[in-house]
Amino acid sequence: MAGKLIIRLSNNIGNQMFMYAAGYAASKKLKRSFYYDKISSYNSFKNISKFGLEKFNLNEKPAESKYLFNGLSGYLKRKLLKKIDVYRSNKYFLLEKRNSDKTTFYDEKLFDKTYAKTVYMEGYFESEKYFSDYKDEIRKQFTPNQYNDFINNEYLSKIKKTESVSLCIRQNRFSEKYGKPSIYDKEKSNKFLSDQISYIHKAISYFKMRLKKPVFYLWSNDFKNLDNKFNIKDIIFINNEHIKDDLDRVHCDLFLMTNCKHFVVIPSAFNWWGCWLSNYKDSIVLRPNNKHFSNFDIKNKDYWPFKWKEI
């Protein structure tokens, strides 16, 4: 290999999966050894997320501390290197491109540049276009190392035996943060919840017209007050509260979701991966119209796979 590529991971597990997958694919395209930084962004006292990929069967290794920008000195060094990188022919950083309105998009030209021996990759990279050429390898790596435990989960046999449709609701989207959320944060979260529910009701009607006896399975980070949002009897809430470890529960939920036959996907990286990792060949996948959410915009123009149907 010509050198190293180190992807900086951040945010929740769905975001980490996008970053890891994009970094893995980029290392193959650039013919470099691949490592991931699971430390730098999670050291901040303001960070509320946890690194969560260690419970997958990853082939690659975390970067050694000596290659990372640790502490205040590392933070300042990273800032300086980014500023001078504009003038370098051999770039230190492979950075996701953004438009003036902070919208991102797939950019093949990123892989045409010349990079230093060790290159640092940063961004969200929320598009399958970055890693679709390595789909099978990534699927294999994103299998849970607790597979033998998860296959005994009470919900799995029901999901496999029925015409299963995955639903997902993200509560508290803008009010889960470091510090006390504002009234605006709470109102924005409530509106996002309301928009999700109206979209899901529309999707349920769609599937009821096209499938024979569909059974809907609902995942959520918070089931509070959701039971009065739906009045149909064929929705099963996937509530694995008996799994006490938060990260184990998240991985079990993701595994169960991937076993559904059909999907109603919301703007959630976790939900996106639950669908993308499914092996069911005849899946119907619905995703919301880009204008459906009144106070939320997806910041990547290539976020939705082409085959997913817009409603």
For the stretch 163-178, pLDDT in tens is 999 999 999 999 988 7
Per-residue pLDDT tens over the stretch 230-287: 877 889 999 999 999 999 999 999 999 999 999 999 999 999 999 999 999 999 999 9
Residue 176 CB partners (closer than 8 Å, separation 6+)? 48
Specify the pLDDT at position 233.
83
Per-residue pLDDT at 41: 86
**pTM score, whole prediction:** 0.96
Residue 83 pLDDT > 60, yes or no? yes
Q: What is the mean pLDDT of residues 4-14?
A: 96
Residue 226 pLDDT > 80: yes
Q: Assess contact for 294 and 195: CB atoms under 8 A.
A: yes
How far, in Å, CA of 45 to CA of 263, rounded? 36
Residue 228: the pLDDT is 87
Q: What is the pLDDT of residues 16-43, one digit of tens each?
A: 999 999 999 999 999 999 999 999 888 7
Helix/strand/coil (H/E/C) assignment for every residue in the chain:
CCCEEEEECCCCHHHHHHHHHHHHHHHHHCCCEEEEECCHHHCCCCCCCCCCHHHECCCCEECCHHHCCCHHHHHHHHHHHHHHHCCCCCEEEEECCECCCCCECCCHHHHHCCEEEEEEEECCCCCHHHCHHHHHHHHHHCCECCHHHHCCCCCHHHHHHCEEEEEEECCCCCCCCCCCCCHHHHHHHHHHHHHHHHHHHHHHHHHHHHCCCEEEEEEECCCCCCCCCCCCCCEEECCCCCCCCHHHHHHHHHHHHHCCCEEECCCCHHHHHHHHCCCCCCCCEEECCCCCCCCCCCCECCCCCCCCEEC
State how far the Cα of 210 lies from the Cα of 220, in Å rounded to an integer. Answer: 25
Q: How many alpha carbons fall within 13 Å on the CB side of residue 141?
A: 18
How confident is residue 51, by pLDDT bands cut at 50, 70 and 90? very high
Share of the chain above pLDDT 90, in %: 86
Residue 25: its pLDDT value, please? 98
- The rounded distance, in Å, linking the Cα atoms of 94 and 231 is 49
Q: Are strands 235-237 and 309-310 parallel, antiparallel or unpaired?
A: unpaired
246 close to 52: Cβ distance less than 8 angstroms: no
Q: Quote the radius of gyration of the chain (alpha carbons, Å).
A: 20
Q: What is the mean pLDDT of the chain?
A: 94
- Mind listing the pLDDT tens digit for each residue in 114-148? 999 999 999 999 999 999 999 999 999 999 999 99
pLDDT in tens, 117-126: 999 999 999 9
Low-confidence winner among 37-41, 92-96, 202-206 (lowest mean pLDDT): 37-41
Residue 307 has pLDDT above 70, yes or no: yes
* Over residues 2-18, mean pLDDT: 95
The residue type at 84: I
pLDDT at residue 120, rounded to an integer: 98
Asked if pLDDT for residue 215 goes beyond 70, the answer is yes
* Two structure tokens written together for 203: 């999707």
At residue 45 the predicted structure's pLDDT band, cuts being 50, 70 and 90, is low
